[in-house]
Amino acid sequence: MHHALFLCIPALAAPAVDPTQAALQKALDALVRDSGMPGASLAVILKDGRMLTLASGVADRETVAQMTPQHRLFSGSIGKTYVAALVLRAAAAGQLGLDDLLSKHLGREPWFQGLPNAATVTLRHLLTHTAGMPEYVGKEAVWKAIVAAPDKVWSPAERLAFILGDAPLFEAGKGFGYADSHYILLGMVLERLYGIPLEAQERALLTELGLKETVISDRRDLPMLPTGYSSLPPMFHMPQKVVESGRYVFNPQLEWAGGGFASTAADLARWGAALYGGKVLPQPWLRWMVTDSGVKTDFPDGATYGLGAILWQSQLGLTWGHSGFVPGFNAVLQHLPKQGVTLALLCNSDVALKGQGRTPHAAAQRLLRAVLAAPSSDSRSSGMH
């Protein structure tokens, strides 16, 4: 009996290695090494619903604490996908129209006439970044204000004050100019429509979908936040290390409807799979969300823009999703509708996904190719090859 027990131990100690997980870990380790980023957290949801979670590199360069799938990182502008979904739900319910003039909803605000293109902007223009408004966070004065008052809680009007009176970039609908300013206004429309804070609407959506590892980034102390590292130009006035003892360098509430979330990679992938898999919007509205607006963008990789969605064409086929950035962090969410695969990548460096061949799209596609090229692991669970 003693001998039989001894023979069983090696079998128990060597669980089968998922070939897809192994291939993906190798690809992630290579991406982190090649880019020089401190660390990354990655999650992939396969067509059969299986979730793969991985991490590579460090959460803190000084302590050399390892990055883990449990870390929550800022997802930056990927938060626009939540705001767009809320607007499209309201439109599907007949509570607003995408071609409503913005003035219909916010025209009575005392500052409204100071907005560039105030009289001609529609909600669709805002969703597609074709409204011609300047980017308020592109103003150095904003970052000086952040440094002077890092704990400040910003109102929507205080954000927009930085662009009031500016000349429009172009006539509404006649060009593309990506700007958080557009989504700040959409957040205000949603608050006016429902009479409750945007954060409450977002939390209801998180609860509906069971996204328990996603938090609204409305304070400097956020649970499981790794150290982020910044290499932004001097205009941003950011230190190289933007998280000290789990505390962000300024109140990320600034971002609001322009982004506004921190999450695990797993929860971000769950959101992408739900949104692009048709669990959030009625099918026609999802189709419109991921339809090219028809206006040429200035994005890399030939990407176009829909209604709160970045659209890419690649060797793997059509890809839907969004990328994101806040000081110290980069992120990308991608979904392959043909293959039914969703990927979320979160990095603790704001230059991790920048440069030739290192764009958010390039990084995501590199990892997705590893997933799709891996040998099938279905035999592990089904007993069939």
pLDDT (tens digit per residue) in 305-332: 999 999 999 999 999 999 999 999 999 9
Confidence of residue 6 (pLDDT cuts 50, 70, 90): very low
Taken in order 186, 190, 196, 201, the sign of the CA dihedral is negative
Contact between 352 and 6 under an 8 Å Cβ cutoff? The reply is: no
Mean pLDDT of 207-226: 97
Residue 9 has pLDDT above 80, yes or no: no
In a domain, 79, yes or no: yes
Burial of 70 (0-12, 13-18, 19+ CB in 10 A): middle
Q: Can you give the length of the chain in residues?
A: 385
Q: Distance between CA 149 and CA 152 in Å, rounded?
A: 5
Domains in the chain: how many in total? 1
- Token pair of 213 as six digits: 């590892």
In a domain, 35, yes or no: yes
Contact between 138 and 193 under an 8 Å Cβ cutoff? The reply is: no
Q: Distance between CA 71 and CA 225 in Å, rounded?
A: 6
At 62, which CATH number? 3.40.710.10
Q: How confident is the model over 94-147, as pLDDT tens digits?
A: 999 999 999 999 999 999 999 999 999 999 999 999 999 999 999 999 999 999
Any idea what the Cα angle at residue 66 is, between residues 356 and 323, rounded to 5°?
35
Q: What pLDDT is attached to residue 287?
A: 98
In a domain, 103, yes or no: no
Which of the 8 DSSP states describes residue 301? G
**137 or 374, which is more confident:** 137
One-letter amino acid at 41 equals: S
Q: Structural domain of residue 216, as residue ranges?
A: 19-93+197-382
One-letter amino acid at 261 equals: F
Mean pLDDT of 291-295: 96
In a domain, 77, yes or no: yes
In a domain, 62, yes or no: yes
Percent pLDDT > 90 in the chain is 90
Residue 193 has pLDDT above 60, yes or no: yes
List of E strands, the chain: 39-45, 51-57, 73-74, 214-216, 243-244, 247-248, 261-263, 304-305, 310-314, 317-326, 329-336, 341-347
Mean pLDDT of 252-280: 98
Q: What pLDDT is attached to residue 16?
A: 67
Task: Please enumerate in sequence order all residues whose Cβ is within 8 A of that of 124, keeping only pairs 6 or more positions apart, or say none.
Answer: 98, 99, 130, 307
Q: What pLDDT is attached to residue 223?
A: 93
In a domain, 13, yes or no: no
In a domain, 224, yes or no: yes
In a domain, 116, yes or no: no
Task: Please enumerate in sequence order all residues whose Cβ is within 8 A of that of 122, keeping only pairs 6 or more positions apart, or say none.
Answer: 98, 99, 100, 101, 102, 172, 173
DSSP 163-231: TTTPPPSSSTTSS----HHHHHHHHHHHHHHHSS-HHHHHHHHHHHHT-TTEEE--SSB-TTPPP-B--
